[in-house]
Structure 1
């Protein structure tokens, strides 16, 4: 079976998995609330790049090797938990009665933050390692096919995360009063704290 003939066995499960809200989406929506949609684009880029790296690792058949270095993932995971809690604290303590322009952040820091969150979840490589063998014969893939699969994954992931971004931007525009904005900030902070707790206890 050719790559193009079996691509749906990969694309559909991946799209569904990418669309399910998780800690990365909660953190991204928190960024939209705190900094605005445009400033969140590098963060999304980092998220997508992290998933692309996991996809490439699984496609090249290195999933088992990557999972052997679990101690590295544990360290990255706790960095991700700390980052999410930091964002949650910033949202909770934000003074909506006297709105201020959010501090500027470089695109490289946004990319790094987004990639850190995605790479802190080794379950992504487990997912790809489970789905890809059902869609493709990984022992016969050419480099052009590997690049095609990775590019497809990037396109699917980016489209879904941009949809989340647009939804978050519309929600922020719809809420104008300081009281409503404070409720949104604190609700987002609570969701992100819960996601950080889930990341902390999950394996």
Structure 2
């Protein structure tokens, strides 16, 4: 057996292309610092899902079956961390006077998906829904890793560009606080949907 690649691509694109913590983090970073300054963070975010996929393919799936409480705990700890980040985003202002901190870097990007409950759910869904019985572990893991990396390389930059475009429109204007609170709210909503909505 093998991996249902076409269905996996549709699944991955639909998940990566819809609002989630990673997309909101990229949009928020670009809104504050611009696309150019956000590129190292973008690179880290794109690669960070690999830090979950490969360990998942080579053993963590079994651990998830043996100790489900561990992954349940991780899910809520991750959600709490992302909500804290959302609170910080809500209070960011985009005007020139607010540009007092550096843009998040590559290492910060690498931390996004390991603490992203949507990413964990998406990866688990990829292994359980699209990998046929008896598929070699390396083939399954490499296929899922390649498909998700490809989708991220196309779709994550779009979130980044959207953040900068929105910022150019509202920076320093009365709408600015509402934009940042909206981004923060969407981040929290995406996490709550994964936790309680039964979605991936």
The TM tier, using the shorter chain, reads 0.7 to 0.9
Which region of structure 1 is more displaced relative to structure 2, 13-22 or 58-67?
A: 58-67
Match of 1:24 in 2: 22
* Counterpart secondary structure, 1:122: helix
Match of 2:97 in 1: 99
Compute the displacement of 1:186 (Å): 2.0
Compute the displacement of 1:48 (Å): 3.2
TM-score, scaled relative to structure 1 = 0.72
Mapped partners of 1:84, 1:37: distance in 2: 22
> What stretches of structure 1 of length at least 5 have no aligned partner?
none
Shift in alpha-carbon separation, 1:12–1:112, aligned structure 2, 3 A: closer
8 Å CA contact 1:81–1:196 kept in 2: the answer is: yes
TM-score, scaled relative to structure 2 = 0.73
Please say which structure displays the higher CA radius of gyration.
1
Mapped partners of 2:144, 2:83: distance in 1: 34
Match of 1:89 in 2: 87
Compute the displacement of 1:128 (Å): 0.7
Instruction: Number of aligned residue pairs: give it.
Output: 198
8 Å CA contact 1:37–1:165 kept in 2: the answer is: yes
Within 5 Å, which residues of 2 pair with 1:62-141?
63-95=61-93, 99-104=97-102, 107-118=105-116, 121-133=119-131, 137=132, 139-141=134-136
Q: Is 2:181 the partner of 1:186? A: yes
> What stretches of structure 2 of length at least 5 have no aligned partner?
none
* Counterpart secondary structure, 1:103: coil
Mapped partners of 2:188, 2:138: distance in 1: 41
* Counterpart secondary structure, 1:179: coil
Mapped partners of 2:71, 2:37: distance in 1: 28
8 Å CA contact 1:29–1:165 kept in 2: the answer is: yes
